[in-house]
């Protein structure tokens, strides 16, 4: 008596599926399960939105609006009458340095954000995911740019309240704001690099506050160059804060010249050329 061996239906089905998979071209099989093809623009958009929401929760935009008010009151009121005795319209003279100080303050926030993402492990997590290397850095720069716009707008409102005016037309006013945002971007790249290498947001903030104060005080933003001793005037006159303040002051009143703009362009290109690659390296390095 002949015994017929019957295979279970399940085994026969698996065999058919296996044969069918072998016969199907590899390209067709890959098409069924496509590898993820993330968009760098979409990643940037999502991460920027995440960062902005975090800034709103931490009241960073509120602080960005209040900081220029503190600078305006703290610097304008004590020196107003002294400068008037020298025939200086101090509102026009002081406004560029108030804006630049506000932009520098936003760069400290950028450093704190980078340090926070590093110590919480968010940066390491991004490195293990299919995220383009520059996207986290660019998202922080974009959110910092928004913060700078808020701070710049508030500073101009406070400046208008104390008597600051743009007298050279809309184009020069736009260029004034552009220089302020370029200054903020340059400092934000450098601050982001420091924050990405730091292990403490608080220590990062303290480390960046001192250079900001030194460059601000030793500049021609608060007092004319003649108010400094002879031996330090070359440094005061040629450092970037003074050069930006010269150009922005001329843009607001009197009209800017190429001789005033050229040092600002050179400082901007130099700072971006150094700080942007450093920030990218610090953001993408494996900790």
Q: Is residue 271 domain-resident?
A: yes
Structural domain boundaries enclosing 61: 38-284
Number of folded domains that form the chain: 1
Q: Is residue 31 domain-resident?
A: no
Question: Do residues 173 and 251 touch, judged by C-beta distance below 8 A?
Answer: yes
pLDDT at 239: 93
Q: Is residue 68 domain-resident?
A: yes
Q: Is residue 30 domain-resident?
A: no
pLDDT band for 13, please (50, 70, 90 cuts): very low
Does the structure show a pLDDT above 70 at 48? yes
Per-residue model confidence as pLDDT tens digits over 186-208: 999 999 998 888 877 777 777 78
Per-residue model confidence as pLDDT tens digits over 53-98: 988 998 889 999 999 999 999 889 888 888 888 888 899 999 999 9
Q: Is residue 43 domain-resident?
A: yes
Q: Indicate yes or no: pTM above 0.85.
A: no
- As a whole number of angstroms, the distance between CA 267 and CA 47 comes to 30
Per-residue model confidence as pLDDT tens digits over 149-171: 999 999 999 999 999 999 888 99
Does the structure show a pLDDT above 60 at 26? no
Q: Is residue 123 domain-resident?
A: yes
Q: Is residue 7 domain-resident?
A: no
- Scored b (16 or more CB within 10 A) or e, 190-220 reads bbbbbbbbbeebeebbebbeeebeebbebbb
Q: How many residues does the chain have?
A: 287
Neighbours of 163 (CB within 10 A): 13
Does the structure show a pLDDT above 80 at 31? no
> How far is the first Cα of the chain from the last one, in angstroms, to the nearest whole number?
74
Does the structure show a pLDDT above 80 at 36? no
Question: Do residues 83 and 166 touch, judged by C-beta distance below 8 A?
Answer: no
pLDDT band for 35, please (50, 70, 90 cuts): low
- As a whole number of angstroms, the distance between CA 276 and CA 185 comes to 9
pLDDT at 32: 53
- As a whole number of angstroms, the distance between CA 11 and CA 143 comes to 57
Q: Is residue 161 domain-resident?
A: yes
């Amino acid at each position: 008596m002949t015994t017929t061996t019957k295979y279970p239906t399940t085994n026969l089905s698996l065999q058919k599926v296996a044969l069918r998979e072998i016969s199907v071209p590899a390209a067709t099989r890959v098409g069924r399960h496509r590898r993820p093809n993330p968009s760098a623009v979409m990643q940037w958009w999502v991460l920027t939105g995440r960062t902005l929401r975090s800034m709103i929760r931490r009241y960073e935009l509120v602080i960005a609006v209040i900081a220029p008010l503190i600078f305006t009151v703290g610097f304008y009121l004590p020196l107003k009458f002294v400068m008037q005795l020298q025939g200086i319209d101090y509102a026009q003279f002081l406004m560029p340095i108030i804006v630049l100080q506000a932009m520098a303050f936003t760069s400290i926030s950028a450093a704190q954000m980078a340090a926070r993402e590093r110590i919480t492990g968010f940066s390491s997590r991004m490195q293990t995911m299919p995220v383009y290397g520059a996207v986290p850095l660019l998202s922080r720069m974009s959110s910092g740019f928004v913060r700078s716009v808020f701070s710049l707008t508030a500073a101009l409102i406070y400046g208008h309240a104390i008597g600051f005016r743009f007298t050279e037309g809309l184009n020069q006013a736009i260029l004034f704001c552009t220089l302020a945002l370029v200054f903020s971007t340059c400092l934000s790249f450098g601050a982001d690099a420091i924050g990405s290498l730091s292990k403490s947001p608080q220590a990062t903030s303290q480390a960046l506050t001192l250079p900001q104060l030194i460059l601000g005080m030793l500049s021609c933003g608060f007092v004319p160059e003649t108010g400094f001793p002879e031996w330090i005037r070359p440094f005061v006159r040629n450092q970037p804060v003074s050069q930006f303040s010269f150009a922005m002051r001329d843009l607001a009143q009197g009209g800017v010249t190429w001789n005033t703009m050229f040092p600002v362009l050179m400082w901007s290109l130099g700072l971006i050329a150094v700080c942007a690659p450093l920030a990218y390296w610090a953001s993408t390095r494996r900790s």
